Structure 1
């Protein structure tokens, strides 16, 4: 019973953190009008959260390794609750940027403690399964985060932030009540030692560079789907949420079928095919004649994206087997750096180019460059299956 309770609690914590990440996307058109800012500036709301997460992800690992992980988790959730609720109270654009930045810091403080706590709290035979529950929380958040923001925003744009903040407060109390302390003794190690080793590892740097290119392109597209649908097709916030829900289901399905595709084709061929299909989807996307057609194309694109992400992570992990936790932190930081860049670039492109054409071309080029970096390291050759 205790293990099932903790598993559910970890699922919910990762779900609420993931939901907050994607909550803002459908609100951008409304926030743009409310604050009286340009569409390009609205991307900074996405970027502020990403920058906060990125900076915190790089620093929190060494801190949490020397303190009680439960305490770090509770502190992170408290700050996350206050910052998310603060977003709903933000009456000025600068205040919104500050609260989103703080929410990003808090999310990066809380989330990694879940991954670190699971191997300590659960028997070895259950670790992978419980890790799967936590991962499922993030996957479900990607599916429902954007439409949830859309549906709740029908009441008020402030309400989604108050709703997520309330759920986070309840989870904070549950973590404090049911999660045991994790103040296990750890081996002291200089903060920079592992990072220093990884930064001297050229294959790791190339893979992180490819991952940065992919995530920058990916978030540039995803963050402005709602803005595109509102401007080009005249859709309401609620309707946009429904369409993006379909797109999110595509990503969830992709995460489930990706392993089967690797088994069927082999990892090198599956990896290359998924890259090519993802790029092709963005090439044809600007030709969509309606929101429905665009949604179908995007659902297919993000089905492929869901299958690609595990391959990115597995290749990174294989290159840093003695520092898996650190490489995960670096990957998270790189992902949110990509989101931060994408928020700025996407805001400019959606304003300067007709429809989604500028963003689609930028995304296709970015993913192509990532694919070429992987190709140069031999990841699409059959020999690479022995890595």
Structure 2
């Protein structure tokens, strides 16, 4: 692993850890801040909302700025806002600090994906992308359980640890990352939001991006309330919920590492269809499983399939137009976090209304079914020649 790849891995690891940390903390923070269940999802949604709104601006802007400065500034702000979460005194202060953390991440994470083709030699880009993507999976397997264990001592310790680690990563960015200044002749020709026009004009892109929204909405609706569900159903403590997250995150790592081999063996279409169908079945049966072991086993398969499908989908989206990778990466991230906001909000409402996870599982299964249909209907799985003609027109 090269120094640059490892640094980008660390950036995604710390952002991924902060993204998912709230899930196992929801029962504790809900009790501490006296938050009703139907509103608890907004502690996840606040971060996602900040990311979703500002990624739309960050992507086009960053295509015209030095990516190192954008990544460094974003990581420093991310560190400060995450540290402030540890000082939250109620729902609204936590909402504000999580929102600011999401805004900071919106300027940081897309730079990672846009920087890989610049920093990494072409023959090694696919391998480097897989390693960097594994940073998100590793955050679920290791970052979240560690944060949960710290939170079992004092809930604020997890935010302090992540915020401090993010500051250390910012120092590494300052000293190790080279400047990546844009080609001013190219970036000045197109208005900032005009860079979205090629995507909005493409039927393939529109359908694929909406399919991406449904995919993320279903997954995060389910994921946001895992901690709440296992606490209510199986009476697990916060540190036990952290161990559960470790096991699930390990499934994501397995999927990320074996994804390239699976796709090469079965092709993109078969891999995506099989993964989605397995996940739909798992979401439907999850609420009726009799034990923690059974729940872990089924959800493990969901995370394995997500570890395979998520990089596949991002790769397809980024291939839509290679000339605006930063814009596409930011738009895809914005859609993901908009879906997280909507999904966690809906999950909170239906969890409270139906007093359990059954409706959440059905909602997630429905989203995945709609997403699969749109991915197939969009033609993105076999779009290479067709899409080039669309964008050239």
Structure 2 CA distance for partners of 1:302 and 1:322, relative to 1, 3 Å: same
Q: For residue 254 of structure 1, what is the aligned residue in structure 2?
A: 255
Structure 2 CA distance for partners of 1:141 and 1:33, relative to 1, 3 Å: same
Aligned mates of 1:117, 1:329 — CA distance in 2: 13
The 3-state SS of whatever aligns with 2:155 is coil
Q: For residue 115 of structure 1, what is the aligned residue in structure 2?
A: 113
- How far is 1:310 from its partner? 2.8
Q: For residue 299 of structure 1, what is the aligned residue in structure 2?
A: 300
Query: Quick one: which of 63, 75, 78 aligns to 1:77?
Result: 75
- How far is 1:178 from its partner? 2.9
Task: Check whether the contact 2:114–2:329 (CA below 8 A) recurs between aligned residues.
Answer: no
Q: For residue 227 of structure 1, what is the aligned residue in structure 2?
A: 228
Q: For residue 325 of structure 1, what is the aligned residue in structure 2?
A: 326
Q: For residue 364 of structure 2, what is the aligned residue in structure 1?
A: 363
Aligned mates of 2:24, 2:80 — CA distance in 1: 22
Q: For residue 389 of structure 2, what is the aligned residue in structure 1?
A: none
Task: Check whether the contact 2:204–2:380 (CA below 8 A) recurs between aligned residues.
Answer: no
Query: Quick one: which of 42, 54, 57 aligns to 1:56?
Result: 54
Structure 2 CA distance for partners of 1:298 and 1:91, relative to 1, 3 Å: same
- How far is 1:298 from its partner? 0.5
Which whole-Å deviations, capped at 9, do the CAs of 1:59-110 have from their partners, x for residues lacking one? 1123223332222222111111110000000112111000000000101112
- How far is 1:378 from its partner? 5.3
Task: Check whether the contact 2:208–2:317 (CA below 8 A) recurs between aligned residues.
Answer: yes
Q: For residue 90 of structure 1, what is the aligned residue in structure 2?
A: 88
Where does the alignment leave 5 or more consecutive residues of structure 2 unmatched? 387-393
Structure 2 CA distance for partners of 1:301 and 1:369, relative to 1, 3 Å: same
When the two chains are superposed, the root-mean-square deviation of aligned CA atoms in Å is: 2.2
Structure 2 CA distance for partners of 1:268 and 1:172, relative to 1, 3 Å: closer
Aligned mates of 2:24, 2:222 — CA distance in 1: 13
Q: For residue 197 of structure 2, what is the aligned residue in structure 1?
A: 196
Aligned mates of 2:183, 2:269 — CA distance in 1: 41
Structure 2 CA distance for partners of 1:384 and 1:93, relative to 1, 3 Å: closer
- 1:169-184 equivalences under 5 Å are 169-184=167-182
The 3-state SS of whatever aligns with 2:296 is helix
Task: Check whether the contact 1:40–1:347 (CA below 8 A) recurs between aligned residues.
Answer: yes
- Compare 297-306 and 64-73 and name the one that shifted more: 64-73
- 1:1-387 equivalences under 5 Å are 4-186=2-184, 187=186, 188=188, 189-377=190-378
Where does the alignment leave 5 or more consecutive residues of structure 1 unmatched? none
- Compare 30-39 and 324-333 and name the one that shifted more: 324-333
- How far is 1:184 from its partner? 4.6
Task: Check whether the contact 1:27–1:149 (CA below 8 A) recurs between aligned residues.
Answer: no
Q: How many residues align?
A: 383
- How far is 1:192 from its partner? 2.1
Which whole-Å deviations, capped at 9, do the CAs of 1:105-137 have from their partners, x for residues lacking one? 101112222333344344444444443432222
Aligned mates of 1:104, 1:24 — CA distance in 2: 13
Structure 2 CA distance for partners of 1:339 and 1:291, relative to 1, 3 Å: same
Task: Check whether the contact 1:244–1:295 (CA below 8 A) recurs between aligned residues.
Answer: no
- How far is 1:322 from its partner? 4.2
Structure 2 CA distance for partners of 1:269 and 1:37, relative to 1, 3 Å: same
Dislocated runs of 4+, deviation >6 Å: 383-387
Aligned mates of 1:384, 1:185 — CA distance in 2: 28
Aligned mates of 1:17, 1:251 — CA distance in 2: 16
- Compare 191-200 and 58-67 and name the one that shifted more: 58-67
Aligned mates of 1:333, 1:93 — CA distance in 2: 24
Which whole-Å deviations, capped at 9, do the CAs of 1:152-183 have from their partners, x for residues lacking one? 11111100000001111112222223333333
Task: Check whether the contact 2:149–2:242 (CA below 8 A) recurs between aligned residues.
Answer: yes
Task: Check whether the contact 2:204–2:379 (CA below 8 A) recurs between aligned residues.
Answer: no
Task: Check whether the contact 2:139–2:249 (CA below 8 A) recurs between aligned residues.
Answer: no
Task: Check whether the contact 1:22–1:145 (CA below 8 A) recurs between aligned residues.
Answer: no
Aligned mates of 1:365, 1:19 — CA distance in 2: 27
- Compare 23-32 and 132-141 and name the one that shifted more: 132-141
